[in-house]
Amino acid sequence: MTIRSPRVAPAATMATETSEVRFGTSRIVYGVRRSARRKKTVAVAVEPDGAVRVTAPVDTARGRLDEIVHKKARWILERRRRQDDLLPSPGRRELVSGESFLYLGRQYRLKVCPADAGAAVRLERGWLVASVPRGLAVGERAQEVRARLIAWYRGHAARRLPERVRALAPAVGVEPAGVLIREPRKRWGSCDARGNLRLNWRIVQAPRRLVDYVVVHELVHLLYPVHDRDFWALLGRTMPDYEQRREELRRLGKRLLW
């Protein structure tokens, strides 16, 4: 058996079928591509979206594929964990009235209003109201709305995220040196050798249970810098449903990037 990086399936690949296996409490659903060009080996890949793909010869029995996936289950789950820590590709936003934005899991409609003065962004009766200077061209207007929204979210993150760190740190048994609000390109959070947590301001858009997952994840990293067995064991003791929360964040993630 060989394990290869995700690639485009060959033209001879037949329609995808699916199967699943259990590994402990984890359920691994995988897709099967049967290829007439593949004679003996079975290739297992975890794609960037977390999907598990198995490419196999046409005559390989389903039971045999289940056995192979089960043997590779630990590798598959670890690969998914690493990928789940990475941010998805950002979605495209027009930054115009009517678009939906999230704050602490609640959905708000954006309302862009021309104004000469006043609060740049505010919550008002279910709306996220952004006031921008009058007379801007369309492109300039969108850039100004984006800049003002980011400033508003960062301000709220600077207040909310340290609160969650203070509330959750005792359960992990650590005391971080500080909480820094940043915008990393690839992660929801990280920590440094000096004991500082660096949290992505964008996570403040998510429901609090997902904010807490990111916070606890990084607090555990203060004790265990790498994703080894001790890291996952402590994370599981501190937050038993962390896998469910991580999956929720994976599904929601793209909506938080703009």
Domains of the chain: 2-84 (no CATH), 100-256 (3.30.2010.10)
Q: According to the model, what pLDDT value does residue 135 have? A: 87
Task: Per-residue pLDDT tens, the chain, 258 aa: give them.
Answer: 444 434 444 444 444 699 999 998 889 999 999 988 888 899 999 887 788 999 999 999 999 999 999 999 989 988 887 766 666 666 788 999 999 999 999 999 999 999 876 679 999 999 999 999 988 998 899 999 999 999 999 999 999 999 999 999 999 999 999 999 999 888 899 999 899 999 999 999 999 999 999 999 999 999 999 888 899 999 999 999 999 999 899 889 889 999
Surface-to-core class of residue 179, CB atoms within 10 Å of its CB (0-12 exposed, 13-18 middle, 19+ buried): buried
Q: Helices (DSSP H) in 85-207: which residue ranges?
A: 138-172
* C-beta separation of 205 from 256 below 8 A: yes
Instruction: Please give the pLDDT value at position 88.
Output: 67
Residue 129 near residue 122, CB atoms below 8 Å: yes
CA distances from 112 to 79, 119, 126, 144, 236 (A): 42, 12, 14, 10, 43
pTM: 0.70
CA 165 from chain center: how many Å?
A: 19
CA distances from 68 to 14, 72, 161 (A): 20, 6, 42
